[in-house]
Structures are given as C-alpha cells and as structure tokens.
Amino acid sequence: MQKKVDFLIIGSGIAGLTFALKVAEFGKVCIITKTKVDETNTRYAQGGIAAVTSFPDSFEKHISDTLSCGDGYCNPEVVKMVVNEAPKLIQELIEWGTNFDKKPDGLYDLAKEGGHTEHRILHHKDNTGFEIQRALIEKAKKHSNIEILDFHYAVDIITQHHLGYTVIRHQTEVECYGAYVLNMKNNVIETVLAKTIFIATGGIGNIYQHTTNPSIATGDGIAMVYRAKGIVENMEFVQFHPTALYNQGERPAFLITEALRGFGAILRTSDGKEFMHKYDKRGSLAPRDIVARAIDTEMKIRGDEFVYLDATHLNEKELISHFPNIYNKCQSLDIEITKNFIPVAPAAHYLCGGIKINLNGKTSIHQLYAGGECASSGLHGANRLASNSLSEAVVFAHRASQECISIFKNIPFKENIPNWNDEGTTLPEELILITQEFRELQQIMTYYVGIVRSNLRLNRAFNRLELLYKETEELYQRSTISDKLCELRNAINIAYLIIKMAKRRRESRGLHYTIDYPTKLKI
Ligand code: FAD
Ligand code: SIN
C-alpha cells in the first residue's frame, strides 16, 4: 500500500505537533506515532519551558547561562537565535491553548532550575509537558489537513538506497522520499511518500536501566538517519537527571523536578548531611552534570543506592500547590514530602547530540528535516541547560516548517519506490530473545557507559555490544519485522554511536566525564 502526502512527520511530541500545525495551512500532513499519540517524552516534562519574558532577566543572561552550562561546546549563533526566538513561539503555544501558571498579580509564575541565574521557566504546576501535549493534540485533531496515524512504527526512511543505488559518493548526496511504516494494527508495512519529511522521534533513555523516559524513547529516528548515511554527532553527551525518585524497578523512573531545588529543596546524604557545597558554590542548583556526578560520587563512597532531597523546611501549603503530582506520587509510596526526605538517584534523561541539523532544521539528507530531542542543533553543547529543550523544539519546528513550506511545491513525489520486501522471513521463534537482548544492552550501558567513564569500561562495553549486534542483525535478516525487533536494533545502533564517540573524546567535558582524561582540551 502506498500513501502520498506533502509533509510526513515522524513523532507526535512537541516538535512534531508544532511543525504539523504550521505546515497544515499549506498542504496535506501525515503524523505517524508508534504508540498512543500522547505517549511521548513531552508529556512527562515537569519543570517547564525556559524563555526570557520579563525584567530583570535578559537575553544576555539566558545566553550566558546556556553557554556556561554547555561547557564551551555550544554553537553561540544557535544559542543566540533560540534565546531570541523562544518567547514569540511560546506565546504561540499560549495562543494555541497552553496554560502556564500565573501569580495573583497576573504575571507568569517563573521557576528556577539548575544553571539558571534568573527565574525564567514558564510552567504548569509540575506537569508542564502534559499541558503542552494536551493543547497541541487538541488543536491538531481539529485540523482537516492533519491525519494522525497512531500505532504506526517508522522502520526506515526511504532514500536512493532503496532504489538500488549502492554507491553514493558523499553524505550530502542522499535524498529522502518518505518512510516505510509498520501499521501495528494489521502488521502490514506501508510505503508513505512525501515531499518533505520531519523527524521528531525524541530521545534514547531506554538504552539504560534507569531512565525518566517512557518506553518509546529508543532512538529510532537517529538510528534510521545513521543507517541512511546521514550525519549524527555529539552522541557521547547523555544527560543524567540528578533526582529521579528512587523506587526500585519502576520504569520510567518518576522525576522529581529540578524546580523543587529551585524552590529551596536541598540534597543530603543518607546521614542527613548537605554535600553539594563541596562540589560547586551553586550548591544543589549547580548544572546537572555537576550535581549528577556529585551524587554518583557520594553514593559510591557510602555504598548507597540513593541520596535524599529535603523539602521539609519549605512552606507546606505552597509546596503542595506548586508540586501536586510529586506530592501525590510520593504520598502513594508513604513518603510525606512535608515531613520526610525524598530518596533520589540519577537516571538517564536526555540526549544532547543526535541528527545534525542546520539553523533551519535541515539534516545532511535532502528533503529531510529534524527537530526536538533527536536533533543536534548546537544549542546544548556538552550539557543542556534545564528546560531549554522544549524551547529548542518549538524554535526548530518553526524554522523547519518555514523552509519546508517554501520548497515543497517544487518537489515531485519519487516514482518507482519498491514496496517493503520481506520475502523469506518468518516470525522470530521466541520473543524472549529480543527482551533478553534489550536487558543485556541496558546493563552494558548502565555499568560501563554511565556518569563516570574510563577507557577500560568503554572498551568492555564495545566488545560486549559487538556480540549483541551480530546476534540481532542475524535475527533481523531472517525475521518478519516487528516494532520490538526494530527498537532493539535501533537501540544497539544508538549504544554503538555513544560508545564510539565517547571513545574518541580524549578529555572530560560537560556530560562526558572520564577518569582517563579528567581535564578539558583547549578548543
Ligand atoms: P517526544 O516528545 O519524545 O516525542 C517523540 C515521538 O516520536 C513520540 O510520538 C513517539 O511515539 C514517536 N516515535 C519515536 N520513534 C518512532 C518510530 N520509529 N515510529 C513512529 N513514531 C516514533 N525538557 C524541558 O525543556 N523542560 C522540562 O521540564 C523537561 N522535563 C522532562 C521530564 C521528563 C520526565 C522527561 C523524560 C523529559 C523532560 N524534558 C524536559 C525533556 C523534553 O521533555 C524532551 O526533550 C522533549 O519533550 C522531546 O520532544 P520531542 O518532540 O523531540 O520528542
Ligand atoms: C526537570 O523538571 O527537572 C526537568 C527539566 C528538564 O529536563 O529540562
């Protein structure tokens, strides 16, 4: 079965939906999403969306905080652009129906998180992402030009490789014509042809054992682009959130937003002592890489599996009204946050690198654009400033949409694209093989490619991954496609890229910390 649309979007989080709402005024849009339309990283965002909205904040301060957090690795041009353009695009989210909390005087109630020198984070209680996702879905569902296909899994983007061109001389010669998509409702692989394609497939957290990300975050888009010979960069910069709720076995790990530390909560070791001042003068509100590493160190010194976050000294009424979801979640586990410390530990949270894009969201592949967490725009450098990712997503979705609107009419649909060929494949004999390989992958990444790295650990990870890679490729070649098998294959691909790029970096910078090269190189 073949389908033709002007704009194909893979992913229904903030990036995909924002892009969709803009291009839908000009042509036919198809959004595909691999599970329910609202099961995205976006939906779980707690703290909020960062932007300069009022004095005494300024663009200069937001730029400086972003650059400082990125540890010398941000692209200053991109930082300036995103900081300048974010307020206008957030205003658009508000016009589209998103509610952000206000104070009694009618001004926005701005929160503060690690690495920010000002209160500048717009939020909706402690479930900002849920509110943004709700508003965007409601608007997208009403648009007659937008078709949303849930439980549709993008297997691969279609390029010249599928037309039998085996030799492409340079990465920049690849063109994208659409995607092969598994309709998970009937197990048929459909061909979706498009004039422009926007990849917004989100993060990679699930390659680790402990993550704040929902199970959709397996790096599919990045792996698809890498397989198509597109440029992928900065994969070694994986951000661990310092404070996920310690509740063994819970996936995804429930986040305790950094905004709670911005509100005054303090990190303590298991014997109740404050420790962050030993690591950074900003204490519990230092940038995430520093806080996560400090917690990791304290846990290792003491043999503990968590540290505590103490909110017991804060105003009870305000605490509950600002953080109702955290309050309720902790209460469901018999933790009364107004009286008890909250056990927390770091968890894989965000990927700073990904598919390389330019200022207009274009990838190295023609007709292919990317935005949101799967993209590497240059904004975050070696460590993302908290709440900058939602702002980045709207800015790049907007910019990419404007370029796609200006070019799509001149792009013909590609002819003679073959349908997916699964001749000779059969159902995998035991699905447990896939589940087990995924678990092994998560163990490898957690034990050897975590917050603190070394050459020895990275080499071990690489060798063990090779076996998983071979076994999975062999299974993939002979098996009928399933979402779980593709996810495993993609996740292995992502792990490979992280390890490869981490091995190449002979310094410690931002989120990449290695005991073999503890200092930074000059750039
Ligand atoms: P997502 O929202 O993750 O959407 C990805 C979409 O791609 C999904 O619809 C998924 O189904 C689809 N998809 C993936 N693969 C395929 C495939 N093969 N086929 C079809 N569809 C596919 N950032 C902030 O700025 N502020 C915060 O306060 C904040 N809090 C966070 C809290 C948590 C717990 C988490 C997990 C993240 C948080 N982040 C925060 C990060 C931020 O939420 C994400 O970076 C952002 O939402 C990513 O949006 P996205 O549109 O790129 O991807
Ligand atoms: C949080 O609320 O702590 C998460 C914010 C982010 O990841 O940007």
Using CB distances shorter than 6 Å, the residues near ligand 2 are 46-47, 113, 255, 257-259, 350, 386-387, 389
Contact 375/357 with Cβ under 8 angstroms?
yes
d(CA 459, CA 71): 26
Taking the centre of ligand 2 as the mean of its atom positions, its distance from the CA of residue 25, in whole angstroms, is 32
pLDDT in the model for residue 174: 94
288 included as an active-site residue: yes
Cβ-based neighbours of 396, under 8 Å, separated by 6 or more: 15, 357, 361, 370, 371, 372, 375, 377
pLDDT at 168: 66
**Quick one: pLDDT at residue 169?**
63
User: By the 8 A CB rule, do 247 and 34 touch?
Assistant: no
Across the strands, what pairs with 426? 479
Nearest CA to ligand 1 atom 28: 47
The string of DSSP letters for 296-317 reads HHHHHHHT-S-EEEE-TTS-HH
Q: Work out the burial of residue 378: count CB atoms within 10 Å of its CB; fewer than 13 is exposed, 13-18 middle, 19 or more buried.
A: buried
> pTM above 0.95?
yes
| Smallest CA separation from ligand 2 atom 2, residue | 47
Alpha carbon of 45 to ligand 2 centroid (Å)? 6
Integer distance in angstroms from the first to the last C-alpha of the chain? 51
In the reported structure, the alpha carbon of residue 114 is separated from the centroid of ligand 2 by a whole-number distance in angstroms of 9
Query: Of the ligands numbered here, which is closest to the C-alpha atom of 484?
Result: 1
Q: For residues 365 and 355, give the distance between their C-alpha atoms in angstroms, rounded to a whole number.
A: 10
Q: What is the pLDDT of residue 166?
A: 67
Around ligand 1, the residues with Cβ closer than 6 Å are 10-16, 32-35, 40-42, 44-49, 128-129, 153-154, 200-203, 212-213, 216, 220-221, 255, 350, 372-373, 387-390, 393
| Residues in Cβ contact with 112 at an 8 Å cutoff, skipping those fewer than 6 apart | 118, 119, 120, 121, 259, 262, 285
Question: 175 C-alpha vs ligand 2 centroid, how far in Å?
Answer: 35
Angle at 485 between CA 482 and CA 488, to 5 degrees: 145
Which atom of ligand 1 lies closest to the CA of 371?
52
Q: Which of 387, 388, 391 to mutate to test ligand 2, by most ligand atoms within 8 A of the CB atom?
A: 387
pLDDT at position 431, please? 81
pLDDT at 426: 85
- Strand stretches in 354-500, DSSP E: 354-356, 368-370, 375-376, 452-453
Identify which of 486, 500, 493, 501 has the alpha carbon closest to the alpha carbon of residue 10: 486
Ligand 2 atom at minimum distance from 385 CA: 8
Which pLDDT score, from 0 to 100, does residue 427 have?
81
Report the half-sphere exposure of 123 (CA within 13 A, side-chain side): 27
| Axis crossing angle, helix 483-504 with helix 220-227, rounded to the nearest 10 | 70
Q: What is the pLDDT of residue 1?
A: 79
Tokens of 318: 């305000």
Q: Which residues are registered as beta bridge partners of 147?
A: 30
The ligand placed nearest to the CA atom of residue 389 is 1
pLDDT at residue 423 in the model = 84
Distance 172 CA to ligand 2 centre (A): 35
Q: What is the DSSP letter of 175?
A: B
Digit-by-digit pLDDT tens for the chain (523 residues) are 799 999 999 999 999 999 999 999 999 999 999 999 999 999 999 999 999 999 999 999 999 999 999 999 999 999 999 999 999 999 999 999 999 999 999 999 999 999 999 999 999 999 999 999 999 999 999 999 999 999 999 999 999 999 887 666 666 789 999 999 999 999 999 999 999 999 999 999 999 999 999 999 999 999 999 999 999 999 999 999 999 999 999 999 999 999 999 999 999 999 999 999 999 999 999 999 999 999 999 999 999 999 999 999 999 999 999 999 999 999 999 999 999 999 999 999 999 999 999 999 999 999 999 999 999 999 999 999 999 999 999 999 999 999 999 999 999 999 999 999 888 888 877 788 899 999 999 999 999 999 999 999 999 999 999 999 999 999 999 999 999 999 999 999 999 999 999 999 999 999 999 999 999 998 7
Cis peptide before 252 (omega within 30 of 0): yes
Output the six-digit token pair for 34: 């691999």
In whole angstroms, give the CA distance from residue 195 to residue 27.
Answer: 10
Annotate 28-88 with DSSP letters as a single string.
-EEEE-SS-TT-SHHHH--S-EE---STT--HHHHHHHHHHHTTT-S-HHHHHHHHHHHHH
Using most ligand atoms within 8 A of CB, pick from 8, 35, 40, 198 the residue to mutate for ligand 1: 40
**Residues in contact with 310: Cβ distance below 8 Å, sequence separation at least 6, in sequence order:** 265, 266, 267, 268, 341, 342
pLDDT given for residue 145 in this prediction: 98
Q: Which domains does the chain possess?
A: 2-47+126-236+352-410 (3.50.50.60), 244-346 (3.90.700.10), 432-480+482-514 (1.20.58.100)
Question: What's the 389 CA to ligand 2 centre distance in angstroms?
Answer: 9
Catalytic residue among 288, 293, 457, 509: 288
